[in-house]
Amino acid sequence: MKFFIDTANLAQIKEAHELGVLDGVTTNPSLMAKEGITGHENIISHYKAICGITDGDVSAEVIATTFDEMVAEGEALAKLHERIVVKLPMIKDGVRAIKYFTDKGIKTNCTLVFSAGQALLAAKAGATYVSPFIGRLDDISTDGLQLIEDIRLIYDNYGYKTQVLAASVRHPMHIVNCAKLGADVITAPLGAITALLKHPLTDNGLAQFLADHAKAASK
Ligand code: G3P
């Protein structure tokens, strides 16, 4: 399973990259705004900076919501770097735009997916990635992980190549459960990824090993 980091924070992207587990980055307009990245030129140079840190795919989301504007914006984003993936919303014009970019050999990530039917449409249009938002489904008392299971089943039934990119991941057990269900990719905040490291028995065991070593060495 690939690990993407879901942030526009360069320090966090660098930290995940240096940990050696980073396969790519996803961003969205809210995450860019959170880092104070506004204005066309700043946004463009920020995407370039992200591409300079990771060796993997970098999802850059369009702001446009009509087909012609999505195509223009997406083409400009795709020209920034060979690893830019054009991120498009699951709306009618977004599906059309996914098909357009697929036919041109440009990678896409279909975002804001909340149902299996939407994921089926994204795959039909040839999306490289589909992003079901599991945390936001959990937020409204719906089982986000069930959606991952449903999409996996449907894609496997027909051999769709679209990669299931579990998004809106909030905690380490989301990551573990996505792995159990066969998600191709998770995208998560740095905290959810590093939380996978933690186990009290690891910390206690290491402390004991070091104490025993020091005791033996002092004899
Ligand atoms: O990748 C989508 C993700 O950024 C949404 O996460 O936590 O805002 O629901 P969240």
Beta bridge mates, 60: 86
pLDDT for residue 2 = 98
pLDDT band at 44; cut points 50, 70, 90 = very high
Tokens of 106: 């440009």
Instruction: For residue range 150-179, list pLDDT tens digits in order.
Output: 999 999 999 999 999 999 999 999 999 999
Q: Mean pLDDT, to the nearest integer, of 120-125?
A: 98
Instruction: For residue range 54-101, list pLDDT tens digits in order.
Output: 999 999 999 999 999 999 999 999 999 999 999 999 999 999 999 999
CA dist., res. 132 & res. 118, Å (int): 9
pLDDT for residue 141 = 98
Burial class (CB in 10 A: 0-12, 13-18, 19+), 55: exposed
Using left for φ > 0, alpha for ψ between -120 and 50, and beta otherwise, residue 163 falls in beta
Q: What percent of the chain shows pLDDT beyond 70?
A: 100
What does the mean pLDDT of the chain come to?
98
Question: What distance in angstroms lies between residue 208's CA and the mean position of ligand 1's atoms?
Answer: 39
82-86 contacts, C-beta under 8 A, 24 or more apart: 83/24, 83/51, 83/54, 83/55, 83/56, 83/57, 83/58, 84/47, 84/51, 84/57, 84/58, 84/59, 84/60, 85/57, 85/58, 85/59, 85/60, 85/109, 85/128, 85/129, 86/59, 86/60, 86/62
Burial profile 94-114: b = 16 or more Cβ within 10 angstroms, e = fewer: bbbbbebbbeeebbbbbbbbb
The set of protein residues with a Cβ atom below 6 angstroms from ligand 1 is 6, 26, 28, 131, 133, 135-136, 167-168, 187
pLDDT for residue 134 = 98
What single-letter DSSP state applies at residue 196?
G
pLDDT for residue 218 = 93
pLDDT for residue 17 = 98
Catalytic (active-site) positions:
87
- Closest to 125 in 3D by CA, of 145, 146, 148, 104: 104
- Closest to 148 in 3D by CA, of 188, 123, 189, 119: 119
Question: What distance in angstroms lies between residue 207's CA and the mean position of ligand 1's atoms?
Answer: 37
pLDDT for residue 189 = 98
pLDDT for residue 23 = 98
Question: What distance in angstroms lies between residue 17's CA and the mean position of ligand 1's atoms?
Answer: 20
**Of all protein residues, whose CA lies closest to atom 10 belonging to ligand 1?**
168
Q: What percent of the chain shows pLDDT beyond 90?
A: 100
